[in-house]
């Protein structure tokens, strides 16, 4: 399929490049770092070769979210966003941008999102999970009360928010001790992000701000396959949910979340996600440079779904959500 839009596709600046070290074997670092720093050369050739018209670019992880000093986080987010705006301006026909946000300071994050959307022309934000705030060994999640005004800005700007994974802090990852292979995309990324998404759903955020749209990668970080049990555990007891949200969690997943195929090129998983959310809430992505464009694109172009659904997932859902071309 030609004309695909991919939206979990990463780049790095020199200040954040080292954050991506350690996720892949050391002998791949030269290749990976080159992929991250490139925007207009090999990346465009990969897009041309595999039918991707547009990539929405986002900073690598954890980057801004791993900076516990608030002022430093604010400064680096602005620097990364200015860099991205200049890169997109060179090829606005092929690239769009997601804002990196200093969530350590909710007010500054709201102001930076507004600047990126209204002045730089970005189409939303990509935030790498929880933020470390003031002290290195802290993990602050965005369901907390201090973020309500930030979320009001997200809704007012109608700016989709991509909740991207990061590993748990070592002090909060005892379950993985002795099993480092479980960290990163194997398991810890999905578990960490799914819990964060469930916290947002259960907090009542979407009752207060129903217009917010969150994007989850990797076929929804496992949530489409688990959300029924989240709502129906021990249902014979008739015990009400012990959280503030007014509705079933599945309803928020179906109305306030979109899911991408990034890094999860599995037909059975896609079909299950379509059954749970419908094809209108799924979008194609690769996860370049951590996954290969050819692997994601070839699978998607051949996956056994209808051509109407392929067109929706590959392009038109993203056009609608991000108002591309308007």
Instruction: Name the token pair of 178.
Output: 């002795």
Candidates 30, 43, 56, 52; CA nearest to 215 is 56
For residues 271 and 234, give the distance between their C-alpha atoms in angstroms, rounded to a whole number. 27
Residue 287 among the catalytic residues: yes
For residues 128 and 101, give the distance between their C-alpha atoms in angstroms, rounded to a whole number. 9
For residues 253 and 276, give the distance between their C-alpha atoms in angstroms, rounded to a whole number. 9
Candidates 136, 259, 156, 256; CA nearest to 207 is 256
For residues 316 and 218, give the distance between their C-alpha atoms in angstroms, rounded to a whole number. 19
- E-state strands within the chain: 4-11, 52-59, 95-99, 124-127, 161-163, 214-216, 257-260, 282-283
Of 143, 287, 294, 309, the catalytic one is 287
In 3-state terms, what secondary structure has residue 36?
Answer: helix
Question: What's the CA angle centered on 7, arms 3 and 10, to 5 degrees?
Answer: 120
Chain centre distance of CA 32: 20
- Torsions phi, psi for 48 (to 5 deg): -60, -40
Could you list the active site residues? 287
């Amino acid at each position: 399929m030609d004309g695909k839009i991919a939206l979990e596709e990463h780049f790095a600046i020199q200040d954040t490049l080292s954050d991506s070290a350690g996720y892949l074997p050391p002998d791949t670092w030269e290749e990976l770092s080159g992929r991250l720093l490139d925007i207009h050369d090999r990346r465009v050739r990969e897009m041309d070769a595999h039918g991707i018209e547009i990539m929405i670019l986002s900073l690598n992880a954890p980057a801004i979210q791993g900076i516990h000093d608030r002022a430093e986080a604010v400064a680096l987010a602005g620097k990364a966003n200015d860099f991205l705006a200049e890169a997109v301006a060179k090829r606005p026909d092929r690239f769009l941008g997601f804002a990196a946000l200093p969530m350590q300071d909710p007010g500054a994050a709201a102001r930076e999102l507004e600047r990126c959307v209204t002045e730089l022309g970005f189409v939303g934000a990509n935030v790498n999970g929880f933020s470390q705030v003031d002290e290195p060994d802290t993990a602050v999640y965005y369901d907390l009360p201090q973020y309500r005004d930030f979320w009001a800005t997200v809704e007012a700007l109608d700016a989709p928010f991509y909740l991207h994974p990061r590993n748990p802090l070592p002090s909060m990852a005892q379950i993985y001790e002795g099993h480092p292979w479980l960290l990163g995309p194997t398991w810890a990324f999905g578990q960490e992000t799914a819990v964060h998404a469930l916290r947002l759903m259960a907090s009542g955020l979407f009752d207060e701000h129903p217009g917010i749209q969150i994007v989850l990668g990797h076929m929804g970080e496992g949530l489409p396959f688990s959300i029924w049990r989240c709502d129906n555990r021990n249902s014979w007891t008739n015990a009400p949910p012990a959280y503030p949200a007014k509705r079933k969690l599945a309803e928020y997943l179906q109305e306030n979340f979109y899911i991408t195929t990034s890094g999860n090129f599995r037909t059975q998983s896609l079909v299950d996600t379509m059954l749970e959310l419908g094809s209108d809430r799924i979008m194609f992505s690769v996860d370049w440079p951590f996954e290969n464009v050819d692997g994601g694109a070839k699978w998607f172009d051949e996956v056994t779904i209808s051509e109407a659904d392929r067109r929706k997932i590959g392009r038109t859902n993203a056009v609608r959500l991000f108002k591309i071309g308007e």
